[in-house]
Structure 1
Amino acid sequence: MNSQQKTFRRIVTGHDKDGKAIIVSDAPPTISHLVGGPGGPTFFEVWHTLETPALIHPQPDENDEKSLVLSPPKNGTRIRVIDFPPESEEIRKLSGADASDKFKSMGQETASTAHEGAPHPLMHRTETLDYGIVLEGEITMILDRAETVIKAGDIVIQTGTNHAWSNRSGKNCRIAFILIDGQFTGDFYNH
């Protein structure tokens, strides 16, 4: 963990043998992944569910995924925190093939929508509904035909849109993402 990254706690509740609410664990997330090597974002995997409605057990199970998986499980959810360091020139110059490789390392090569003339080399799209809550710093959200700077306290609702994140601020940005498995309706344009 580099000096910019602050630890945060993941507190999981459950029930004791008498059915009373207890704290099952209170510690930093146990699984994190640095994507793309030094200078890349760090994904802290907090929790995921495998179905909807989510099954609630007296003693919740720990995450069982050891590798990074970009989207939530089918019919499930995922919460993660991502630390985005300032974007390097190296990221801005990625080729389409390099971008696909980055998404492949996240278990979802097909998410990459990089192409010549794209607004950012890490443009991607997933069949999910995502809530992004900026915890600290700021980052630029890039869409096909728009971009905006989002800052600490802002909340983004991503509705399966093609997008990329670009930290142009010079400081770390931390975002909590809640990802919900989704399905595109038949009225989407495939352009």
Structure 2
Amino acid sequence: MTGSLRVVAMLAMLGVFSAVQAETVYVAERIRIGLRAEMDEASPVVKTVETGAALEVVERLEKLVRVRDSQGTEGWIEARYLSPEPPARLQLTRLQEDLAKSRTQAAEAQAQLKKAQSALAEQAEKIKELEKNAADRPAPAPAAPVVIKAPPPVTPDAANTGFSFSYPWLGISFAMLVIGFAAGVRWLRESIRKRSGGMYLRV
């Protein structure tokens, strides 16, 4: 077929070409295949594609398909070399890659979990140490009792007559002396007990 007849034949076949929507196909189980510039098998190869290459369908004509690759190169290829799904080998490779990625993510999550558990255990140990230190800390010594003596009331008779012996006042003074002595003995016993490790010394 001469070149002019080929052009006429192609123009005549334009009426049977049907526009197709964007469709992606893959090179089937074949090592390499060429994209031809024209539908004729004698047409030069514009590019060679390999198994698993994703191609966009531009138009279809019976057993031939015009495709476009990711770089924008267009050419004709036989439909029997194309598949709507990636080849099994390519799918297996992708599955293996996804599996390896999932395992990596699982290992990272496990490492983060162990790190969090270690930090939690460290915080718990610090809390136990603080509680132990608080329990071992000695209690502060009690303050010595302070006895405030009220001045005796001044009566008109005492002011006029000077010193006057009073039995009630003597009883109050003696009671305050006994209370102060008892408080001092108690404070002394507590001090001796703490110094001797909790043992009482009879005084």
Q: Looking at secondary structure, tell me which structure has more strand per residue.
A: 1
Give the alignment's TM-score, normalised by structure 1.
0.23
Give the alignment's TM-score, normalised by structure 2.
0.22
The structure whose RCO (Cα within 8 Å, separation 6+) is larger is 1
Q: Looking at secondary structure, tell me which structure has more helix per residue.
A: 2
